[in-house]
Structure 1
Amino acid sequence: MNHLPVLAILVPLVGGALSLFVEQQRYGIVLQRAVAWASTLATLAVALLLLGQVNDQGLLVYLLGDWPSRLGIVLMADRLSALMVLTTAVLGSACLLHACSGWDRRAPHFHALFQFQLVGLNGAFLTGDVFNLFVFFEVMLIASYGLLLSGGRGVRMRAGLHYVSFNVAASTLFLIALGLVYGVFGTLNMAELSARIAALPAQDLPLAKATLGLLLVVFCAKAALLPMYLWLPDTYARAPAAVAALFVIMTKVGLYASLRVGQLLLGEPAGALAGYGQDWLLAGAAGTLALGALGVLAASRLRALSAYLVVVSAATLFIAFGLGVPAMLAAGLFYLVHSTFVVAALFMIADLVRRGRGDEKRDLAHPVTSPEVRRLAGLMFLFAAISVAGLPPLSGFIAKLAMLQAVPAAQVGWVWTLVLVTSLMVIVGLVRAGSNLFWRTPPQEAAAAPGRTAGSRPVETAATVLLLALGVAMTVGAAPVMGYMQGTAAQLMAPADYVNQVQSTLPAKRKP
């Protein structure tokens, strides 16, 4: 049996436990960082191997406890889940590098919480049943509470408490939905649910629709879809840079869950429930995209602007996934990875700008005073802005062009109009921010004030450059990357293979 799926969860879990062990004062921060890096790099190696395995074999099924999948816990690695695990591992490495510049000293239990966050993310992407999706959601969220609130006070503490309250309510709704799912279908395994949903009696359809509707509401809340995105901008804008950058992938967990459930449970084989909720999701995505672009225009701080870009990317992905076209789904997956890295880099650039100011002003109306930060951060911001806005020649342009070319003829009018108009709004917001921060001449007294320069923060700068370099790599290697995404989309559009693989996997040892 291939153990890579469970290793993607076990490695950061062991790393988190060891991080707690070495947190005692006598060990010091150096050993804590060594443990964290060993765990993170090992997770990255497992993710790379896992991607190679699923690229060759297609699907990997791992039976925990060696029980049949419909009775026990099953982990399932396909092209999509392997892609998400690798994206998480790469982003986690950059975020850990940024945090190791010194912020990890100020946050109690940072390295342990960081590893447990990776456990929750990887587990959510690899689980094969909706109950353990809930479990890994909670692991991820509890770790995120600690990362957000550690060392916080004032407005960050208030935003963090709002974030905790919202997610506790969403988790409660998730648990209620799980009880209804088991009551209606008699199973929580995704493959079994897919096989049973088409045979559901007509009298159970109303309850099934209500149940699946609750699940979609929970996933949309996690992915920050209208009207449940209001918690995100302030929370992400107040979080420390490394934490906010890691949180960018958290909204993708809701998107992933919505896509997985939509393809397995609500695809064409679902009979009367095929396509259930898609029209509402598209309408919510359209509204979210418009309001997110307005938020970019109205943002008064660079961190808030970056947070609204998370909302914009989530809404764009809901549209790409909701139209049900393989080519657009593939382009959306390309956009998912690209937007994750670039928006995470913007949070780090915002932190670099804040540290390079010679005063306490943090809004976009006041330019950066440090000459070194103006040059380096300004260049990185220009690079990130071109990419995130979808301008040529970087990966954002490739992703948006591929999505627009794949739009079905019946939806060309509204999709093209919405995407192009909101892209223009994002461009205007980014140009406004860049002009105010890096092109305006600071007042003479502010320019003379001492500020912490980028040169004194080489580790943070390296983490930001790493994420931006990944965007360049996706641009240079667009053909093979898009080829993988197209194979992933084709696999997602054939859920019967997923179901058959899980159901046909038997325990390695069976009692006579």
Structure 2
Amino acid sequence: MNHALILPVLIPLFAGGLLLLGGRVRMAAQRSLSLLATLALLPVSLWLVHLAGLGELQQYTLGNWAAPFGIVLLLDRLSALMLLLTAVLALFALLYAMRGDDERGSSFHALFQFQLLGINGAFLTGDLFNLFVFFEILLIASYALLLHGGGRERVRAGLHYVVLNLLGSALFLIAVGTLYGITGTLNIADLAVKVAAASADQAPILGAAGLLLLLVFGLKAAFLPLYFWLPSAYAAASAPVAALFAIMTKVGLYSILRVYTLVFGSEAGSLANLAQEWLWPLALLTLAAGVLGALSASSLQRLIAYLLVVSVGTLLAGMAIGTPASLQAALYYWLHTTWVSAAMFLLVDLVSRQRGDKAGDLVQGPALQHPRLLGGLFFLGAIAIAGLPPLSGFIGKLLLLRAASDWQYAVWLWPLLLVGGLGMLVALSRAGSTIFWRVGQDQLDSSELDRGRLLACVGLFLLSPLLTLLAAPVLEYLNAAALQLQDVNTYLLLGGGQ
């Protein structure tokens, strides 16, 4: 048994526990332990990417209880990729937070590690109930992280966020209980076998439970009409928390991709492709709603939050088309949008710190002390996030448009994605001209640019040109991941479904 598979869960678990128990330890010690744990996830994730790249599915059986009776962790190319994505994002978000944001409230580093525990566990689990458990861990940590530092706006946004996610958790539990009551298993691979063999009497109830799961995952992924909590919550959160939250919607999308490819996929008998007819219209509507929200945003923070909604719609479109080429394009865009969106949240905070009480509001404010540097970074981010050449956003969108070669998809996706890109560019141009050009004569004396925060922000931005330079090997890996994901029979055999 390869024990490396459980390290992405154990490392943040033990680090978070130690940080929680040693809450009165000096901040320097807390930062050191948290940074050490987060750094340790990088080589582990790289090793798991290499391991998954060999082509064989890897399974870790907790307590050595074989599937479908025991709890299992499952590693394939997709889950390994998500672990690496999270590890890189977490490192830069933590480096930014260590410049003072972590001192705004108590237990920041413990909560940060528990958040990573929930995210990594959700990406690795091969069991539907444990997906629920890891969802709850990451959500509980996110509740506290969202409120970290206090403030009226955070409390208000946090209340909406908590109530909606508690409702989602209740629905998740109902769906899981229904599936277990009928099939007697929650191992995802074994569940796929039982769903495919369901009788005519069982199929409608299983279908209802499957659609209820889609509702729950849709709330986490923030697609229309379930995205209304996201702009307020992300805009109210502190910058490093909002940057880490850029991966949160991807956990919901990952769950949709995993469950509706394997359990309710092409081999599910009468319930085959259960969610497919829903994903395409939801993707297009989410994309359009995100662009309209970005155009109407009143602050930089809300603008970037709405652009995250746009990315959800774009990714959902690639998943709805469902071909290896569209999944490859979606996964490439997945990497791009997570890192660039997180970098934009950090940049917005750097800009807001130089505008006094105007902060990120899109109104005339004082002149920035570092307009060229911050303006240059904003220009780079705008090009990347709008999908203009030569950065990774352009490659991701181009691949997705090429994948939509079927007229049924192209007639909708091409105009919406291109017009949506124009809308994003208009929204970002309006914001940039307001922040960097429509300024007063005076500068704030207190608006010093912290080099540590700047380096963390620049580091995330540099991942976009890096993705562009490494496009060939990255796309080769992503194509293999897409083909592996659609080879359902391999997963069924691993889960004991032969």
Alpha-carbon displacement from aligned partner over 1:350-394 (angstroms, at most 9, x marks no partner): 10011011454531122452231x122111111011001000000
Alpha-carbon displacement from aligned partner over 1:163-184 (angstroms, at most 9, x marks no partner): 0111001000000111101112
**Displacement, 1:7?**
0.8
Q: Which moved more, 1:199-208 or 1:304-313?
A: 199-208
**Displacement, 1:502?**
3.1
Q: Which residue of 2 aligns with 1:400?
A: 397
1:289 is matched by which residue type in structure 2? L
Q: Which residue of 2 aligns with 1:508?
A: none
Q: Distance between the aligned counterparts of 1:430 and 1:302, measured in 2?
A: 9
Q: Which residue of 1 aligns with 2:478?
A: 485
Alpha-carbon displacement from aligned partner over 1:323-361 (angstroms, at most 9, x marks no partner): 111101001000001000000011111100110114545
Residue number among 455, 458, 461 corresponding to 1:465 in the alignment: 458
Q: Which residue of 2 aligns with 1:133?
A: 131
Q: Would the aligned equivalents of 1:69 and 1:189 in 2 still touch at CA under 8 Å?
A: yes
1:384 is matched by which residue type in structure 2? G
Q: Distance between the aligned counterparts of 1:361 and 1:138, measured in 2?
A: 33
Q: Report the secondary structure of 1:393's partner residue.
A: coil
Moved over 6 A (4+): none
Q: Which residue of 1 aligns with 2:181?
A: 183
Q: Which residue of 2 aligns with 1:502?
A: 495
Q: Distance between the aligned counterparts of 2:270 and 2:358, measured in 1?
A: 59
Q: Is residue 375 of structure 2 the alignment partner of residue 382 of structure 1?
A: no
Q: Distance between the aligned counterparts of 1:378 and 1:177, measured in 2?
A: 48
Q: Distance between the aligned counterparts of 1:254 and 1:362, measured in 2?
A: 28
Q: Distance between the aligned counterparts of 1:358 and 1:268, measured in 2?
A: 55
Q: Is residue 39 of structure 2 the alignment partner of residue 46 of structure 1?
A: no
Residue number among 453, 465, 469 corresponding to 2:448 in the alignment: 453
Q: Report the secondary structure of 1:200's partner residue.
A: coil
Q: Report the secondary structure of 2:88's partner residue.
A: helix
Q: Distance between the aligned counterparts of 2:111 and 2:205, measured in 1?
A: 38
Q: Report the secondary structure of 2:298's partner residue.
A: coil
Alpha-carbon displacement from aligned partner over 1:422-470 (angstroms, at most 9, x marks no partner): 1111111011111111123x222xx24424122xx11111111110111
Q: Would the aligned equivalents of 1:62 and 1:76 in 2 still touch at CA under 8 Å?
A: yes
Alpha-carbon displacement from aligned partner over 1:215-249 (angstroms, at most 9, x marks no partner): 11100010001111000000000000000000010
Between the two proteins, the alignment pairs up a number of residues equal to: 497
Q: Distance between the aligned counterparts of 1:200 and 1:156, measured in 2?
A: 46
CA 412–362 in structure 1, closer or farther in 2 if over 3 Å, else same: closer
Q: Which residue of 2 aligns with 1:509?
A: none
Q: Would the aligned equivalents of 1:58 and 1:79 in 2 still touch at CA under 8 Å?
A: no
Q: Is residue 23 of structure 2 the alignment partner of residue 30 of structure 1?
A: no
Q: Would the aligned equivalents of 1:359 and 1:449 in 2 still touch at CA under 8 Å?
A: no
1:219 is matched by which residue type in structure 2? F
Q: Would the aligned equivalents of 2:366 and 2:444 in 1 still touch at CA under 8 Å?
A: no
Unaligned runs of 5+ in 2: none
CA 191–359 in structure 1, closer or farther in 2 if over 3 Å, else same: closer
Unaligned runs of 5+ in 1: 506-512
Q: Which residue of 1 aligns with 2:469?
A: 476
Residue number among 289, 292, 310 corresponding to 2:290 in the alignment: 292
Mapping of 1:214-225 within 5 angstroms?
214-225=212-223
Q: Which residue of 1 aligns with 2:71?
A: 73
Q: Which residue of 2 aligns with 1:433?
A: 431
TM-score normalised over the length of structure 1: 0.95
Q: Distance between the aligned counterparts of 2:105 and 2:455, measured in 1?
A: 21
Q: Percent identity?
A: 49
Alpha-carbon displacement from aligned partner over 1:16-61 (angstroms, at most 9, x marks no partner): 112123321xx31111111001111111221111111111243110
1:362 is matched by which residue type in structure 2? G
Alpha-carbon displacement from aligned partner over 1:90-139 (angstroms, at most 9, x marks no partner): 10000000000001111210000000000000000000010000000000
Q: Distance between the aligned counterparts of 1:136 and 1:17, measured in 2?
A: 16
The two structures, once aligned, show a CA RMSD in angstroms of 1.3
Q: Report the secondary structure of 1:75's partner residue.
A: strand
Q: Would the aligned equivalents of 2:264 and 2:272 in 1 still touch at CA under 8 Å?
A: yes
Q: Would the aligned equivalents of 2:148 and 2:238 in 1 still touch at CA under 8 Å?
A: no
Q: Which residue of 1 aligns with 2:414?
A: 416
Q: Would the aligned equivalents of 2:157 and 2:232 in 1 still touch at CA under 8 Å?
A: yes
Q: Would the aligned equivalents of 1:358 and 1:369 in 2 still touch at CA under 8 Å?
A: no
Q: Would the aligned equivalents of 1:367 and 1:438 in 2 still touch at CA under 8 Å?
A: no
Q: Which residue of 1 aligns with 2:208?
A: 210
1:452 is matched by which residue type in structure 2? S
Mapping of 1:300-449 within 5 angstroms?
300-367=298-365, 369-372=367-370, 374-409=371-406, 410-440=408-438, 442-444=439-441, 447-449=442-444
**Displacement, 1:482?**
0.8
Q: Distance between the aligned counterparts of 2:358 and 2:484, measured in 1?
A: 51
